[in-house]
Amino acid sequence: MDLILIQTLNGLASASSLFLVASGLSIIFGVTRVVNFAHGSFYMLGAYIAWSLVSRFGSASALGFWGGVLLAALLVGLVGLLIEIALLRRIYQAPELFQLLATFGVVLMVQDVALASWGPQDLLGPRAPGLRSFVSIFGNRFPTYELFLIVLGPIVLGALWLLFNKTRWGTLVRAATLDREMVGALGVNQRLLFTSVFFLGSCLAGLGGALQLPREAVNLHMDLSIIAEAFVVVVVGGLGSVTGAYLAAVLIGVMHAFGILIFPKITLVLVFLIMAVVLIVRPHGLMGRKPSLVQQGATMREPLLSPATREIKLLGAAALAVLAIAPLLLGNYGVSLLTELVILTLFAASLHFMMGPGGLASFGHAAYFGLGAYGAALAAKWLAAPMAAGLLFAPFLAGLAGVVFGWFCVRLSGVYLAMLTLAFAQIAWSVAFQWVELTGGDNGILGVWPAPWAAGKTTYYYLALVLCTALVLALRVAIFSPFGYALRAGRDSPVRAEAIGLNVTRINWLAFIIAAIAAGIAGGLYAYFKGSVFPTYMAISKSVDALLMVLLGGVQTVSGPIVGAFAFAWLQDWLVRGIAEYWRLVLGSAIVVLVLAFPQGLVGTALRWRGRSQDDDVPAEAVR
């Protein structure tokens, strides 16, 4: 009995910490629709800055500690403000999710800035004055600071409620959460509103980080370890609903505290399991509302998509010719790198197939890439299957997962869909991670080497080139096929699509499966190329890589993912090898610069330039 009470309190304390971060994210997303990857970085900065300030002010005095914490939150708010003004404000008009790319650049930069400023060693913050000790509850010692956090969560929730419901600013924010265009139409200064919202959200992230000082080590992994969970809380709560975020945080915190009593290893995946269940039962989260039909109809206007012109086809053929003769010009490593780029291109193109024409953004596409890799590796390890069989089993396993996961996912839309794909990807990842007998766990499966005839680096390159080119072209053909048109129809206007007889859900489902199969083939090729398979192939970072490639190239174009994959993977390889130190800072800056210079993605923006110079009427909107 007392254990139940104590574990509930433990859960509530974690919930408060999580809520502080998630509330800021929820507010930012609700109003600006920016999927802010950098929110975790703000949280980490809050902790580091608070550590420095409190160390300087002296942690013994209440003023020194709490003053440091609050000042850190404000400073982080200012950092957020700066990023909004200098970066995000310029790209609000970009295609959906494009801002994610920009904020990812910020994440990379902050990681290296933190390393350079605070060093690599974990920092232990001071305990809070007056809250250093514990109280006794049924003979169990419970830290007073945790009690303080339990109380703080609802207080912050209440303060936010007052802010949103009792002030004019809050009313505008709520209105903007429901309908951005309307607020703009009311003559409200939208820029100021967005900037102030970003400031508040960043402050909350900073506060969340600063308040961890007495509780957790400050380290360089804080950013990425919190961001996924914060998103889960926001989505489980319902986008833009702060109260929902609190409920979700409590649900997750308490389930966690009890989950480890029953099944200790569940911590790996519990939050994602909860999210999957909640989203399947309630497709718009605990407190989220279904967007009205009117809003659905008035989403972003997608630009015209036309088949490649003669010129572009020639360009493509020339590029292919270069790739075909490349092994004659490049050394062994050049060929290896190209092999990797070609495989990643197929991976990116497969994501683009559902995300571009289908409007089905996935945060968990690596699941199918990874399952493809595991399909090949498991076939090789357990069935001693030859490479050809492994390469067939790869898309089979990935496609099977696409059939099952896709069935649930396509019933949702927007960020909810994206997060459900993430949940499934994490579940698949945890299975690969945990089922040690079958998959070797995190030590992976080794010895997945190609058949002798394909073992040569150049031979394998040509094998990958032929397969990937054929599949990328096939995806392209499909985009311009009746099915591809139907897919786009469902994205452009679901209501209209249904009204002309299209079964949008089923069309999206098939697109999901096709994307999964294509990713699976990429994964299979990758497995034989690397010779080993690890759970990291399905990790969030791989999914993010695919997203970045598609967004960088331009999601509204067909060639975008190809250019994006080459640009991103090559840039990363080049920087890691060339700079060694602080390559993340340089890569992050490069992404930010590219985002500002190419707000429609590389291909999207290039085509726009070309269109403008040629003809002012149609091609300005035409994106190939």
Which 504-563 residues touch other proteins, going by CB under 8 A?
507, 510, 526, 530-532, 534, 536-537, 541, 556
- By CB under 8 A, the residues from 390 to 449 that bind other proteins are 433-434, 436, 441-444, 446-447, 449
Least Cβ distance, residue 197 to other proteins (angstroms) = 28
Close Cβ partners of 16 (under 8 Å, ≥ 6 residues apart)? 149, 150, 152, 153, 249, 253
Of 576, 593, 613, 615, the residue at the interface with other proteins (CB under 8 A) is 576
- Residue 243's φ and ψ, nearest 5 degrees, are -60, -40
Min CB(4)–other proteins separation in Å: 10
Contact map string, positions 461 to 490, toward other proteins, x by CB under 8 A: ----------------xx-xxxxxxx-xx-
What is the nearest approach in angstroms of other proteins to the Cβ of residue 81?
A: 28
Which C-beta is closer to other proteins: that of 187 or that of 578?
578
Closest CB to other proteins among 129 and 441? 441
CB nearer other proteins, residue 320 or residue 576: 576
For residues 558 and 479, the answer to whether their CB atoms sit within 8 Å is: yes
Is the Cβ of residue 88 or residue 507 nearer to other proteins in the bound state? 507
Q: Which is nearer to other proteins, 189 or 541 (CB)?
A: 541
Q: What is the DSSP letter of 299?
A: S
Residue list 211-270, contact with other proteins (CB under 8 A): 215-217, 219-221, 225, 256-257, 260-261, 264-265, 267-268
> Minimum distance between the CB of residue 522 and other proteins, rounded to whole angstroms?
13
Q: Is residue 179 near other proteins by the rule CB under 8 A?
A: no
DSSP 531: S
Could you say which of 281, 329, 580, 597 contacts other proteins (CB under 8 A)?
580
Q: Is 281 in the site for other proteins (CB under 8 A)?
A: no
Q: Is 122 in the site for other proteins (CB under 8 A)?
A: yes
> Closest CB to other proteins among 148 and 161?
148
- Binding segment for other proteins among 137-145, 230-238, 411-419, 458-466 (CB under 8 A)? 137-145
Cα 521 from Cα 471, distance rounded (Å):
9
Q: Which 8-state DSSP code applies to residue 135?
A: E
Q: Smallest gap, in angstroms, from Cβ of residue 390 to other proteins? A: 16
d(CA 546, CA 148): 41
Residue of the chain from 68, 95, 143, 206 that contacts other proteins (CB under 8 A): 143
Render 203-219 in DSSP notation, one character per residue. HHHHHHHHTTTTTS-B-
A 10 A CB-CB count for 85 gives: 15
Is residue 66 within 8 Å of residue 55, measured between CB atoms?
no
Candidate list 61, 133, 165, 613; residue touching other proteins; CB under 8 A: 133
The site that binds other proteins (CB under 8 A) totals a number of residues, namely: 113
| Distance linking the first and last C-alpha atoms of the chain | 65
Phi, psi of 522 (to 5 degrees): -60, -45
> Does 581 help bind other proteins (rule: CB under 8 A)?
yes
Please report how close the Cβ of residue 167 comes to other proteins at its closest, in angstroms. 28
Q: CA 372, CA 525: separation in Å to the nearest integer? A: 8
Window contacting other proteins (CB under 8 A); options: 42-50, 152-160, 290-298, 599-607 = 290-298
Choice between 66 and 582, CB closer to other proteins: 582
Of 179 and 216, which has the nearer Cβ to other proteins?
A: 216
DSSP per residue over 178-194, as a string?
A: H-HHHHHHTT--HHHHH
Smallest CA-to-CA distance from 45 within 141, 117, 139, 147 is with 117
Q: Which is nearer to other proteins, 85 or 330 (CB)?
A: 330
- For residue 310, the tally of other CB atoms under 10 A from its CB is 7
Fill in the DSSP letter of residue 452.
G
Q: Which is nearer to other proteins, 58 or 334 (CB)?
A: 334
CA distances from 606 to 474, 560, 598, 600 (A): 24, 10, 8, 9
State the Cα–Cα distance between residues 530 and 95, nearest whole angstrom.
34
Least distance to other proteins, CB of residue 193, Å: 25
What is the pattern of x (binds other proteins, CB under 8 A) and - over residues 333-372? xx-xx--x--------------------------------
With CB under 8 A as the contact rule, the residue among 3, 86, 162, 404 that binds other proteins is: 3
User: How far is 344 from 566, CA to CA, in rounded Å?
Assistant: 8
Query: Min. distance of Cβ 101 from other proteins in angstroms?
Result: 19
Instruction: State the residue for tokens 């190809």.
Output: 562
Residue type, 606: A
What is the DSSP secondary-structure string of 62-120? HHHHHHHHHHHHHHHHHHHHHHHHHTGGGGTTSSTTHHHHHHHHHHHHHHHHHHHHH-S
- Closer residue to other proteins in complex, CB, 2/311: 2
Structure tokens at 36: 């802010």
| Residue 14 binds other proteins (CB under 8 A) | yes
Nearest to other proteins of 194, 347 (CB atom): 347
* Residue 47 in the binding site for other proteins (CB under 8 A): no
130 is a site residue for other proteins (CB under 8 A)? no
Angstrom distance (rounded) from CA 476 to CA 214: 54
Half-sphere exposure of 355 (CA within 13 A, CB side): 34
| Maximum pairwise Cα distance, the chain | 80
Nearest to other proteins of 4, 82 (CB atom): 4
